[in-house]
Structure 1
Amino acid sequence: MSRPLCVTHKLLTPHLVDPATELEPGRDITVGVDQVLIEDATGTMTGMQFEMLGVDEIAVPLAVMYVDHNVLQIDDKNMQDHRYLRSFCERYGVRFSPPGHGISHYIHIERFARPGALIVGADSHTTTSGALGTFATGAGGLEVAVAMAGYGFELPCPRVIGVELTGRLGYAVEPKDIILELLHRYGVRGGVGAVFEFYGDGVASLSITGRATICNMAVETGATTAVFPSDERTRAWLDAQGRADEYVAIQADPGAVYDEQIHIDLDTLEPLVAAPHSPGNVVPVGELAGTEVVQVCVGSSVNSSYEDLATVAAALRHGPVAAGVQLTVTPGSRQILDTIARSGVYQDLLDAGARMLEPICGPCVGIGQAPVKDKPSLRTFNRNFPGRSGTAEDQVYLCSPSTAAASALTGAITDPRTLLDWPSLRPAVVPNTELHDRHITPAWPLAQRHDIEVERGDNLVSPPLAAPLPADLAAEVLIVVGDDISTGDMAPDGAIAMSVWSNIAECARFMFRRLDPDFHDRAQRLGGGVIVAGHNYGQGSSREHAALAPLHLGIRAILARSYARIHRRNLIAVGIVPLLLPAEAHAEQGEDLSVPGLLDALRSGAATVTARIGGRPVPLGLQLTAGERAVLLSGSLISHIREGRRRPVHATV
């Protein structure tokens, strides 16, 4: 008799390239990929690296490119990117969602994600699709390009944390508060190497968009993804989206075993807020009640569903937004924009004084609506890393739509349960499911694609390709940074910095600018060096620019106490060695560092290698899987593929 399986293992097992592979946490597994999600900010690097692989077309059943990040078009760079991406999609068989059509994660659950699928996306919040009983995870653009070219997706098998939900959410308590509670317990590091799988009687009470909120932000714990079962809620969602035939029931078997189990009682949950400057800095809303806010932002890639916007609109029927507060509202997709327009929700928001934005990522990635410095901005977004909003001295708080609405009315952070007479939500009208097919281009037949020329403007420059690693490493310590340094500190958000993400040499000028404005010039002057960091180095976005920029500057090794999952893989993929610095060791900027025998240590499978930092012997960890060592020994993942060291795999359907 086969052992009972959790949902995560039911999703992974049929996608294993080697069916005999045991799903043991930490073990290398390679899976076939059903769907690929790409967005424009990471998409140009994904596309250019896909072209470097020399394949003729995509080798997965579906790939979709969404233009939702760099759309401000302050000069012609963004539009150069858009024209490259559209022509790339036409040439290689990728579907294309144009600027203004919506945010990738919302469109994907509306139109493409389906129960049982395995999705890899060049965006960390690809995890959103886990709401539909899907294994969906983010990765760097190069790993996504490799998967899209038909070589599968390799990852360390995650452990599975079972999260039992019981009861029902109380008045003005929302799914956002569930994921904030999870962040309160695990912080921004506790989920590394894990999948959060939800079960229990409380699951049935959560809408699909509510589940999407939870799955979207699960990555903020460092997790690989989050997964909900596919149940009657899933069936109803797919039916409303005109996709009833894609429904498949997927539940955990009775007696399914988890690597860890926790319990959240929805009956006792209260509204929560993540205070600056971390999604893990979570406290009850009551502890912050009365804190003045000058800006409230609703929407982005999380909490921009019809349900979320209707909740805010209902609260705002109490009266206008408080004087001195700027309220912005971002619908998640053109479909949601159409629905709120036809239901009356849009009018309610206008009447209350909200600034209505187009369905793009916008202020979530510092593209517009940057707040005034040192003044609280309350947002329903997923991240509040320092400077992410576009203001270096920002004070961003994260909350649910109910808390945002109540606070917009009062001008201060407010427990939404104190507003006891909210009008009921306006009922949703039937969504116009034809909008996506009308605006998202189909994949052209191969015979029509051969003569298409991919348009590459001068803002698009192929990324650097690493030379083989040296046998012995010798360099200077360029910078020493602390814990929880985000990829946004290496490749910053905002309209100006993001406009050059298609040119790594220009992008590298912004690396660590917030922390050390001289870093770029010093690295160039010295011809490279090493970076020393604390715990959770590279948290947040999947942007591989944070690995390509140091490669461009001649950096071939990082020393950190620990690494965020995606950034660690990105470093390896481009040929940078992620070394582990022991707790008792230290380094100073300007010290000499040498790692003799680094290449031999990689070849032999050694778990440590001895370095000398300022003359002091320091053992550094080499905690790498066999597959990761093979990539580093090839120089990079592209070189590894070109050498024929990974075979193409058959995608599942």
Structure 2
Amino acid sequence: MIELISNAVVIDGNTIRSAEEARAKGVDLEAARKNSLSARILAAHNTAPEGEDVLRVRFDALASHDITYVGIIQTARASGLTEFPVPYALTNCHNSLCAVGGTINEDDHLFGLAAAQKYGGIFVPPHLAVIHQYVREMMTKCGGMILGSDSHTRYGALGVMAIGEGGPELVKQILGKTYDVANPQKIAVWLEGAPRPGVGPQDVALALIAAVFKNGFVKNKVLEFMGPGVEGLSVEYRCGIDVMTTETTCLSSIWTTDGKVRQYLEKHGRADDYAELRLEGPACYDGLIRINLDKIVPMIALPFHPSNAYPVAEVAKHASELLAQVEDEARKQFGDAAKGLNLCGKIRDGGLWVDQGIIAGCAGGSFENITLAAAILDGKSTGNLAFSLSVYPASEPQGLALVNNGSTAKLMAAGAVLKNAFCGPCFGAGDTPAHGALSIRHTTRNFPNREGSKPANGQLSAVALMDARSIAATAANGGRLTPATDLDWSAPGLADVNLDYRFEPLIYHRRVYNGFGNPKPEVPLVFGPNIADWPAMSALPDHLLLQVVSVITDPVTTTDELIPSGETSSLRSNPLKLAEYTLSRKDPGYVERAKAVDLMEKARLANAADPELVARARALFALCGLDILQGAADLKNVGLGSTIFAVKPGDGSAREQAASCQKVLGGWANLAVEYATKRYRSNLINWGMLPFIGDADLAETLQVGDWLAVPDVRKAVKDAAPTILAYVVRESGKAEQIALTLKDLTDDERQIILDGCLINFYNSTRKQ
């Protein structure tokens, strides 16, 4: 079904050769590496001098939604923002349920509209479109690059290399700076064959994620989709696969383009934005993924990760065994709170019964997915028991097309509930399932509690990911898990589904504010009571004493665990209030422990000669055999802060708050064996936090309450020291020397850490 080739390959037309075979035939491999689609696009956007190892990329457009754009604009304002230099879409698809948080959410929307007017941005009102659908429909241009503050920023199927990053990376673009990244490896994804009826894009995506996530095959690399199988896929089908590539941990993606992409752009009034992207001569890749679409079957990703994927038929057949494994994992993660999650109890009458179905967002809410779901449910009923089905078209233009082709009527008659464009079901702000429920969703993620449950309050539910086709087939059976391939696709209504889509531009023309190129600096920003400035942050001191305030030994820690998604969304514009929720699902005691250390730092800043603090710091350094404070009467050169340890933190969302909340609470560093994604590590750096990497045995030895002494840390960062010697001081008083590294920091990244955060960095640059 999926074959992974880890050695370099050269693709020339429909011929795939090993690098050795290609070289023997006279292919210049270095020249061939420059022929890949991504290499050509990156080269066109790279501003670095020739020969420099680090790419310095300028993007063509930016996009954010309403739980990220306030913080981005506030950071940019504090750093000298005057005008948006490229088209910047501010969409409102996350905090659009304005009943949550009182007036907080709509206050953010008014701020966003005023910012679009003041700085020349694009404002997409609530419920009009989810962020990625709007960008697909209105902003993509073949051969371009787009940066978004949402991890699922992926428009490769439309010929655009897109990257999801934390807000500070957008701030850099807004201020005319660059996105700095080591030249990524490229992996070819060779598609062949054609999906069988009933197999959708989510099925292909889940099979791909299962094949490459755990082994890190594509981590921080670029995926290039090509091969004879591409032409048989519709553009929306391609987009459905492409948007899920984020879950492979790749950096970005790009597809070859063809007449179908040209027709898509023509339908959206943007024929001039089309360009054919294809290989021109032999292209060399660092590996290859071969996907036989004929062999893909309906898939389901069981809780609690998109990579935990199996064929739907296999889960239906072996439900008791596979669900028992999920329950075991829940007990490991949530302890007593997992007692109410009796997934094996959903096996009855010879089948597995689910409680809820959701088709929504940038992955599931497409015209094509929903039209096919409506065809499957036409004349059927979702039943009048516990099972429910909610459907969210990804944009109002798509919603109107579904009304016009009769799909909305079919779904409503079957018992489905049609809702507006909204990302809520994907991150825990809408359709949170009942305690103990199992929800099947065509959305992007099924991380623990991402659907909105709160195990600390005794409420726990679970989400499995499926394609819209199989969700509809399950709904037609009243909630009994059913792969869509079990249906008769030669029957009337399925064999002749009309997938012709007509885009209505007036919906956007009448409601979207497009001020790009026409800033109005006289327009005042509108500040609601929950919109707060970032607190002042200190420069990196000469030495650090950091208390370990959380130790997480899970194999992977998601950003949803670092800062919860759904219930905190209305606080994203208030750094201090939001920080109160840091690690609340994974380690509820973290905040108070971090605050206790931060009180010491605040006391140091108020009085560096505080005798109690000086004595405590001197004693800690002495245990390490260091005489740093022996002749000093104060702590002017010693910072006191906190750090967390996690084996592999940062999988998932691009949200900068996963790092900034730690910083607000006095965090100076993370300790990790490795970082799950580049974007989380970048967020740490941009908030002035040290992204330390240490040995794996730290997971065995490090304990909450230990102190980490890092002498001469400022000098080490400034001099780009390959290794930083630090000391772990146990509560017993024993000290152990350890080696830490800060891998691959650019000059600017080192300076950001030295200055204390990106805001300080830009302010110091402006004063020079």
- Verify same fold: TM over 0.5: yes
On the 8 A contact 1:595/1:611 being kept in 2, the answer is yes
- 1:44 maps to 70
CA contact (8 A) 1:327 1:408 kept: yes
Match for residue 608 of structure 2?
A: none
Q: Deviations over 1:301-336 (max 9, x none)?
A: 212111000111011015111442110000000110
Question: Is 1:303 aligned to residue 303 of structure 2?
Answer: no
One-letter code aligned to 1:56: T
Give aligned pairs, total: 638
Matched, 1:633 2:694: no
Q: Which residue identity does 2:755 align to in structure 1? A: S
Contact kept in structure 2, 1:320 and 1:352, CA below 8 Å: yes
Distance 2:49 2:191 in 1: 32
> How many Å separate the matches in 2 of 1:399 and 1:302?
11
The aligned counterpart of 1:167 is 193
* Secondary structure of 1:125's aligned partner: coil
Larger CA Rg, structure 1 vs 2: 2
1:603 corresponds, among 718, 741, 745, to: 718
Check the 8 A contact 1:371/1:391 in 2, yes or no: yes
* Aligned-residue identity in percent: 30
Match of 1:301, SS state, is helix
CA deviations over 1:607-641 (Å, ceiling 9, x no partner): 22122222122212221322322322232223323
Q: Does 2:343 correspond to 1:316?
A: no
The Cα shift of 1:13 comes to 0.9
Assess if the C-alpha contact under 8 Å between 1:599 and 1:633 holds in 2.
Answer: yes
Q: Does 1:485 align with 2:587?
A: no
1:589 CA drift (Å): 1.0
In 1, distance between residues paired with 2:60 and 2:49?
A: 17
- Please show how residues 18-167 of structure 1 align to structure 2 within 5 Å: 18=48, 20-21=50-51, 27-60=53-86, 62-74=87-99, 75-127=102-154, 129-167=155-193
- Which 10-residue stretch deviates more, 38-47 or 253-262? 253-262
Q: 1:189-213 CA deviation, whole Å, 9 max, x = no partner?
A: 5432111111100011122212212
Does residue 404 of structure 2 align to residue 349 of structure 1?
Answer: no
1:255 paired with 2:367, answer no
Counterpart amino acid of 2:170? V
Q: So what's the TM-score if we normalise by structure 2? A: 0.81
User: The residue matched to 1:252 in structure 2 has which SS?
Assistant: coil
Name structure 2 gaps, 5 residues minimum: 1-27, 317-350, 455-459, 599-640
Q: Describe the shift of the 1:490–1:236 C-alpha distance in structure 2 as closer, same or farther (beyond 3 A).
A: same
Is 1:12 aligned with 2:42? Answer: yes
Corresponding residue to 1:454 among 496, 503, 525: 525
* 2:442 is aligned with 1:380: yes
Question: Contact between 1:304 and 1:330, CA under 8 Å: does it hold in 2?
Answer: yes
- For 2:561 and 2:125, locate their aligned partners in 1 and report how far apart those are by CA, in whole Å: 28
2:335 maps to none
- TM-superposed deviation, 1:78: 0.4
> How does the TM-score come out when normalised to structure 1?
0.95
1:591 aligns with 2:591: no
Alignment-derived partner of residue 487 in structure 2: 419
Deviations 1:150-199 (A, max 9, x none): 21322232211111001111121122122111111112654321111111
Output the CA distance in 2 between the equivalents of 1:324 and 1:345.
24
1:397 to 464, 489, 506: 464
Match of 2:6 in 1: none
CA distance in 2, matches of 1:514, 1:190: 29
1:408–1:355 distance in 2 versus 1, CA, 3 Å:
same
Following the alignment from structure 1 to structure 2, what is the Cα–Cα distance between the partners of residues 444 and 18?
Answer: 27
The DSSP-based 3-state class of the residue aligned with 1:566 is helix
Is 2:577 aligned against 1:506? yes
TM-superposed CA distance for 1:116, in Å, is 1.1
SS in 1 for 2:175: helix
Report if the CA contact (8 A) 2:79-2:759 is conserved: yes
Partner residue, 1:284: 311
2:661 counterpart residue number: 549
State the secondary structure of the residue aligned to 2:364: coil
Counterparts of 1:465 and 1:196, CA distance in 2: 40
Task: Give the Cα separation in 1 of the matches to 2:150 and 2:61.
Answer: 13
SS in 2 for 1:644: helix
CA separation in 2, counterparts of 1:634 and 1:259?
A: 37
Which is further off, 544-553 or 410-419? 410-419
Match of 2:736 in 1: 616
Aligned CA distance change for structure 1 residues 427 and 59 (closer, same or farther; 3 Å): closer
Alpha-carbon distance in structure 2 between the residues aligned to 1:643 and 1:51:
14
Contact 2:647/2:696 (CA < 8 Å) preserved in 1? no
CA RMSD of aligned residues (A): 1.8
Give the superposition deviation at 1:21: 4.3
3-state secondary structure, aligned to 2:529? coil
Q: How has the CA–CA distance of structure 1 residues 637 and 646 changed in structure 2, closer, same or farther, with 3 Å as cutoff?
A: farther
Aligned counterpart in structure 1 of residue 672 of structure 2, from 560, 573, 578: 560
Structure 2: distance between partners of 1:375 and 1:330: 20
Q: Does 1:409 align with 2:471?
A: no
- State the shift of 1:19 in Å: 5.3
**C-alpha contact 2:379 2:410 (8 A) present in aligned 1:** no
Q: 1:645 to 1:462 in 2, by over 3 A?
A: closer
Q: Who is 1:650 aligned against? A: none
Match of 2:328 in 1: none
C-alpha separation between the residues in 2 aligned to 1:191 and 1:272?
Answer: 21
Counterparts of 1:33 and 1:332 in 2: how far apart (Å)?
25
1:575 corresponds, among 680, 685, 688, to 688
SS at match of 2:191: strand
Post-superposition Cα deviations, 1:20-72, rounded to whole Å, max 9, x if no partner, equal: 146xxxx4211122101111111110111111121311122x11110110011
Q: CA separation of 1:645/1:174 partners in 2, compared to 1, >3 Å: closer, same or farther?
A: farther
Q: Which residue of 2 aligns with 1:642?
A: 763
- Contact 1:302/1:382, CA 8 A, preserved across alignment: yes
In 2, the alpha carbon distance for the partners of 1:18 and 1:529 equals 36
Q: In the TM superposition, what is the alpha-carbon distance from 1:429 to its structure 2 partner? A: 4.5
**Residue 327 (str. 1) matches residue 448 (str. 2):** no
> Given the alignment, which residue of 260, 269, 292 partners 1:233?
260
SS in 1 for 2:568: helix
Q: Partners in 1 of 2:762 and 2:280 — Cα distance? A: 38
Report deviation, 1:490.
2.4
What amino acid maps onto 2:421 in structure 1? P
CA distance in 2, matches of 1:426, 1:352: 19
SS in 2 for 1:625: coil
The superposition leaves residues 579-609 of structure 1 with CA deviations (integer Å, 9 ceiling, x where unpaired) of 0121123311111221222222212222221
Quick one: distance in 2 between partners of 1:302 and 1:616?
A: 48
How far 1:518 moved relative to its partner? 2.2
1:120-162 per-residue CA deviation (whole Å, 9 max, x = no partner) reads: 11111111x1111111101111110220222132223221111
Indicate which of 235, 238, 245 corresponds to 1:208: 235
State how far apart, in whole Å, the 2-side matches of 1:444 and 1:236 are: 26
